[in-house]
Amino acid sequence: MNILAFVGYGSEHDGALIELTYNWGVDKYDLGTGFGHLAIQVKDVYLMCDQVKRKGGVVTREAGPKKHGSTIIAFIKDPDGYPIELVGE
């Protein structure tokens, strides 16, 4: 069982929003497992993936439509191994 809490300022369409999850039975997290992922909305997911790769970053899911949807998403990794979801406008 998990408990979810959403923390942010203003509307999720106009500001930042973080979903926090409490995982029952977990008493320790290792670097890279402390949270699931962050999501950031960008104008052009394809362009952002190109820029990340050009600067030596890691794209773990190339830009493309979500399964069963039309929203364009991609996943990249930060230097600590945390995934960041890029979501198209």
d(CA 26, CA 5): 17
Grouping H, G, I as helix, E, B as strand and the rest as coil, residue 43 is: coil
89 is catalytic: no
Which is the catalytic residue, given 12, 62, 85, 89? Answer: 85
The candidate with the shortest Cα–Cα distance to 63, out of 81, 37, 89, 82, is: 89
Active site residues: 85
